[in-house]
Structure 1
């Protein structure tokens, strides 16, 4: 019997908060010999092991089998379970990935016995590890049931050994399941082919897995107690994604609302993308003014939303905010159909900058402000993000804190207009002098961003304010001093410092694609005659007036572009 104390706020422990659990060391055979069905609940994450994890487990098993002449127990991990209301079932709270993979190894061994015509041994493996016969009905009851997303595929391809090709439309986790089984079966077949006594070794590896692989089974009296153990086991580092811990906590508060909670969580995961859900949860918390680091996110949600009612309200808000979060990454989202079309230009720019922290404040703005003011705030965030991108400010923690504070003030109704928002965000606004100095030395490694910057500057220079420079396929970036210069450039660019200017923003321009193809690495006079002077882009007029292209001309042009950029990406409050 083990006693685990539940931690409560302040680090104190109350006697009433101590739970009792049972822990036992079991071989795989003993684990599946228990009169239980192990069930992975619907709220647990889908099967996610990829080739690397599957291969590592198989390699570990075979290495132990081959090197240990008198094999002892080989520990492969911990499984946490709790009782279920259904008689004879145990709910798997942690360890489901390993348990599923071990089951598939035994299924693969069964399949290979069948291929070799030894149905007796195949049926023996199936009975011991995959399913047991119900004496009343004669039905085979599986020893392991996966969650609702994975179980139909698990039954069809693993338990029943269906050979049909899996559809491309099947959920990715189910493709991982089938791939894992096929990979394991291939590994086993190759391994026994290399052995001098394949039948003996197939039987030997089967017995080794059953009798020597050891699992610590931790049994709790209830889901609530199991969650405490689950949290404790995952307290050091992030063995699980933070979102898994949060999901388990929210569902533990489900009670009669568990079906609703499951639906809402699945909808949120689909909306924001499963890979983004931890970031979304964190940004949502910060959009309410609660700055939280990733390592503290789970505890912040658990302490901030302690009961079923609080969790219901949280999920309702998360559901609404998830649509905003996802729409901020897509200017084409139907969410924006009633907004000013200019909003799409701003979102496209933010996408090109490859920034995301702005979403903290943007989510709050679109949740609580009028569409007009929210758009003004988004434009503000775009300018701030661009200046930070160019200046290379790296204090992401401080940036997030300022965004979170501003978002909190918006959520509390204290922001009435764009000016109010700027007052909260102004510490992130890089001043003109600092911005221009950084811009002069901007290196054009990010092609899409560089093309966009130059296109925006060209728009600014054009007399027709309606014209929008194509920053996609119709124009190309052109290095005036080429990356691979011919001999005509050697006199002007002779030192390493001068050659390093090739990627400076002052040396890069836009050219219509047809003109760009004609000039390659030719001399500046040839480039000017054949392309730069013929270009219709305003940004090339100053270059075409220059007699010679030198390091000094690059510096002059970089400063001029920096000045224009400061006028384009500016906030006047």
Structure 2
């Protein structure tokens, strides 16, 4: 019926998708294996063995099983004519069953086009698409309120970058199909581009947490903001001969400043999809000066949902607002972590501030003057309000630091003298030693550490707010900062 030497796989009446073919051959030859198909074979062997062991005449029962499989199992067979399109038939049949992921429909579309063009489909699969069928791309991720595979999420970011259009997650396949028809890009070029940007996406996802870029990407994850991703794919996709590293880092600092300033002012993220789509368009017009394009576009943003908070707004919020009670904890934590990073110098022991879901949990936010201050912190003798403003003041930046999760409950509401000794003995952070246990630079307060009161909280808050402007500068300061390689490693 077939040429075994030329087409050995024609032996099989059922033929799986590319990713499963090697393992399928192995299990069909009875050679075991370690994948899902081998697990399926082992499962049925175990179940059949157990079922046969229950019978007095196992051979009779086995005969009944064979007869059932041969005569009672119903199969649907579809014979296609020469000009029928198997991929289209597959999509049509599947539309009445369990919905495919958009990635599977896109894969189907691309391979259908490749077949029509007479391309070597097996080569295209092995060269470009095979990694996308691995488990790491099929893990479920939640963006906003929608849970999808990591591959669907990546394809959404890539297509947004490519089209600079807004579309819903449910419209991914239709938008891809529309783009493919209108773009006139060769199918193999699409495969190659997806593979290239998938590597960039992996690089962004697994970027080390140090340096300008690493800290920004960490903060983006903590803030649960993924809308900049199409812009990041574009920036990282530019060769360094087009966009030098320094310019990319300056662009990233601008994005970081925009996101963090708005987060710390508790401003809406509702229009971020439009903001970052506009930024992709701006950078696409000026890729070799992407940093300038980003800074200019962000500076021009208007309205409550889009504007880039000024130095005045940012400083005033950090100096005066009870940020601990008004913001989500993760926003306050990234602020304190960034200030600790900024306080470190070339002469400081190079300890890395713990960050991330696992390591970052070791550091918690500590109120120096406790929230229950009335227990051990009597108001100042000359205070006519008897400490009435402390309930808000204790939540301001000037009264916050970081300590380990074990030390935090120990400190509790203890008086300043005891708390000072515990912090001095156990804390290694510059945020604590350089601005709390000793006076911040250029602070004219004698005997700083003898007490902790309203004046010291406000003084420290002013200093830390000023430092925050250096961490997250606005447009003019970014334009004049060359961002040397030394500063980028902080």
Same fold (TM over 0.5): yes
Q: Distance in 2 between matches of 1:527 and 1:408?
A: 57
Selected match of 2:124 from 242, 246, 261 = 261
Normalising by structure 1, we get a TM-score of 0.56
Selected match of 2:258 from 384, 396, 402 = 384
RMSD, aligned CA: 5.2
1:325 aligns with 2:201: yes
Q: Which residue is equivalent to 1:225?
A: 85
1:175 aligns with 2:50: no
Q: Which residue is equivalent to 1:404?
A: 277
Q: Distance in 1 between matches of 2:351 and 2:165?
A: 41
Q: Which residue is equivalent to 1:103?
A: none
Matches within 5 A, 1:231-270: 231-235=91-95, 239-254=99-114, 255-266=118-129, 269=132
Matches within 5 A, 1:115-264: 141-157=11-27, 159-162=28-31, 166=33, 175-190=35-50, 207-208=67-68, 210-221=70-81, 225-235=85-95, 239-254=99-114, 255-264=118-127
Distance of aligned partners of 1:266 and 1:414 in 2 relative to their CA distance in 1, 3 Å threshold: closer
Q: Distance in 2 between matches of 1:188 and 1:504?
A: 68
- Check conservation: 1:242, 1:297, Cα contact below 8 A: yes
- Check conservation: 1:321, 1:363, Cα contact below 8 A: yes
Q: Which residue is equivalent to 2:483?
A: none
1:441 aligns with 2:325: yes
1:477 aligns with 2:383: no
- Check conservation: 1:253, 1:311, Cα contact below 8 A: yes
Q: Which residue is equivalent to 1:27?
A: none
Q: Distance in 1 between matches of 2:329 and 2:262?
A: 17
Report the alpha carbon displacement of residue 459 of structure 1 after superposing the two structures with TM. Answer: 3.8
Q: Which residue is equivalent to 2:137?
A: 274
Q: Which residue is equivalent to 2:419?
A: 528
Aligned to 1:509, the other structure's residue is in SS state strand
Aligned to 2:363, the other structure's residue is in SS state strand
- Check conservation: 1:287, 1:364, Cα contact below 8 A: yes
- Check conservation: 1:454, 1:509, Cα contact below 8 A: yes
Selected match of 1:431 from 294, 306, 309 = 309
Aligned to 1:144, the other structure's residue is in SS state coil
Q: Distance in 2 between matches of 1:561 and 1:139?
A: 69
Q: Distance in 1 between matches of 2:159 and 2:60?
A: 58
Aligned to 2:236, the other structure's residue is in SS state helix
- Check conservation: 1:231, 1:245, Cα contact below 8 A: yes
Report the alpha carbon displacement of residue 282 of structure 1 after superposing the two structures with TM. Answer: 1.9
Distance of aligned partners of 1:182 and 1:480 in 2 relative to their CA distance in 1, 3 Å threshold: same
Report the alpha carbon displacement of residue 471 of structure 1 after superposing the two structures with TM. Answer: 0.7
- Check conservation: 1:460, 1:568, Cα contact below 8 A: yes
Q: Which residue is equivalent to 1:456?
A: 338
- Check conservation: 1:443, 1:503, Cα contact below 8 A: no
Distance of aligned partners of 1:429 and 1:271 in 2 relative to their CA distance in 1, 3 Å threshold: farther
Report the alpha carbon displacement of residue 470 of structure 1 after superposing the two structures with TM. Answer: 2.7
Normalising by structure 2, we get a TM-score of 0.64
Q: Which residue is equivalent to 1:540?
A: 432
Q: Distance in 2 between matches of 1:236 and 1:559?
A: 63
- Check conservation: 2:158, 2:230, Cα contact below 8 A: yes
* Structure 1: gaps (5+ residues): 1-34, 36-86, 89-133, 167-173, 334-339, 493-497
Q: Which residue is equivalent to 1:285?
A: 159
Distance of aligned partners of 1:474 and 1:154 in 2 relative to their CA distance in 1, 3 Å threshold: closer
- Check conservation: 1:440, 1:559, Cα contact below 8 A: no
Q: Which residue is equivalent to 1:14?
A: none
- Check conservation: 1:264, 1:319, Cα contact below 8 A: no
Report the alpha carbon displacement of residue 250 of structure 1 after superposing the two structures with TM. Answer: 0.8
Q: Distance in 1 between matches of 2:294 and 2:83?
A: 45
**Deviation digits for residues 254-279 of structure 1, max 9, x if unmatched?**
12243453244236638995233222
1:366 aligns with 2:258: no
Distance of aligned partners of 1:376 and 1:243 in 2 relative to their CA distance in 1, 3 Å threshold: same
Q: Distance in 1 between matches of 2:195 and 2:94?
A: 27
Q: Which residue is equivalent to 1:299?
A: 174
Greater strand proportion? 1
Report the alpha carbon displacement of residue 360 of structure 1 after superposing the two structures with TM. Answer: 0.6
- Check conservation: 1:234, 1:240, Cα contact below 8 A: yes
1:314 aligns with 2:190: yes
The number of residue pairs the alignment matches comes to 413
Matches within 5 A, 1:35-74: none
1:568 aligns with 2:480: no
Q: Distance in 1 between matches of 2:18 and 2:361?
A: 50
Report the alpha carbon displacement of residue 560 of structure 1 after superposing the two structures with TM. Answer: 7.9
Q: Distance in 2 between matches of 1:317 and 1:138?
A: 33
Q: Which residue is equivalent to 1:80?
A: none
Distance of aligned partners of 1:536 and 1:471 in 2 relative to their CA distance in 1, 3 Å threshold: closer
Distance of aligned partners of 1:162 and 1:481 in 2 relative to their CA distance in 1, 3 Å threshold: same
Q: Which residue is equivalent to 1:129?
A: none
Report the alpha carbon displacement of residue 559 of structure 1 after superposing the two structures with TM. Answer: 9.1
- Check conservation: 2:261, 2:472, Cα contact below 8 A: yes
**Deviation digits for residues 29-71 of structure 1, max 9, x if unmatched?**
xxxxxx9xxxxxxxxxxxxxxxxxxxxxxxxxxxxxxxxxxxx
- Check conservation: 1:362, 1:377, Cα contact below 8 A: no
